A and B are shown apart, each in its own frame.
Chain A
């Protein structure tokens, strides 16, 4: 029997993710977009949702999900984020090649493009580092520092990217989701900070 707290947390998480997606799914802008453009947009929305899940999974913040199991799911969600970014950028490229080329070359007129492209490279980098973590034999402190540094770049880049865009997402639901993403990221950075003893041992 799930406790009341468990139910509340899962319901809140489901709402935080489902409401922005539902609002985007009913955007009037969709009527004037081709399927590939719609797919690209939703890949972005889903990726933003994934950024909320990642710290919750890795930090063991979700009720009845152990940290061990959470981190396994975290890795899968991470792979999904890479895929979502590829679909997002690829779909936009098919929709309007020159706009995406401008963005990738950091010469786009839109200020949000640069944030999106920075976040994209950080997502690719964080996935590569995670994939080769064992082979690189990174010490836990260094791994944490690198992984969280890249995660912070991804979160800030994505949130700036999303907030500056006038797209299918609703203004309020997008802002709330972005705030939750930032809070969750800050929480795990704080909670997993190395102890003084660990830092001394390293020194």
Chain B
């Protein structure tokens, strides 16, 4: 059931974004395709895919843990939470560089679309304390478009970081 509504929504989103002729949504749809489609998808951030090692295993925790990376995954358009979505996480931490395989791990979102990863403390690297997250369509069967994020911590002393994916059906 969710599968069909996802597809229908996908058509709506695509239709509104490209043609701009979704008259059923009213005049505002012509002015702003994004608002006509509801929740806008998260674009891939610059540098988001840097040092990505595709296909990291799903793990309970990366390394020794101690830092909480969390977030929410929703569907573009209606904003419905997406469960069972694979999110891969990596960063420069107290235990390793971004490129190190041990710095990478993946997790799945729960029924509310939330994910949490216990990982080593992120430390500033290349000028900013930041994390990398991926929704990679090649390693997930839910059928959304690939998105890479690179959120920056407001302080290097933070013990947690949260972010959000809004995914667009492929």
Q: Which residue of B has the minimal Cβ distance to A168? A: B124
Whether B46 pairs with A29 at a CB distance below 8 angstroms is no
Q: Which residue of A has the minimal Cβ distance to B98? A: A96
Main secondary structure of the interface of B (DSSP, over half): loop
Q: Which residue of A has the minimal Cβ distance to B97? A: A34
Interface contacts (Cβ under 8 Å), in number, total 52
Cβ-based interface call for B150 (8 A): yes
Q: Which residues of B contact A67 (CB under 8 A)?
A: none
Whether B51 pairs with A109 at a CB distance below 8 angstroms is no
Q: Which residues of B contact A108 (CB under 8 A)?
A: 46-47
Complex-state Cα separation, A166 to B122, whole angstroms: 13
Number of interface residues of A (CB under 8 A): 21
B-facing residues in A103-133 (Cβ within 8 Å): 107-110, 112-113
Q: Which residues of B contact A113 (CB under 8 A)?
A: 127
Complex-state Cα separation, A201 to B129, whole angstroms: 55
Cβ-based interface call for A95 (8 A): yes
21 A-B contacts (beta carbon < 8 Å): A32-B92, A33-B125, A34-B97, A92-B126, A95-B97, A96-B50, A96-B51, A96-B126, A98-B51, A99-B47, A99-B51, A102-B46, A102-B47, A109-B46, A109-B47, A110-B128, A164-B127, A166-B124, A166-B127, A166-B129, A167-B124
The chain B residues found within 8 Å of chain A, CB to CB, are 45-51, 92-94, 97-99, 123-129, 150, 156
The chain A residues found within 8 Å of chain B, CB to CB, are 29, 31-34, 92, 95-96, 98-99, 102, 107-110, 112-113, 164-167
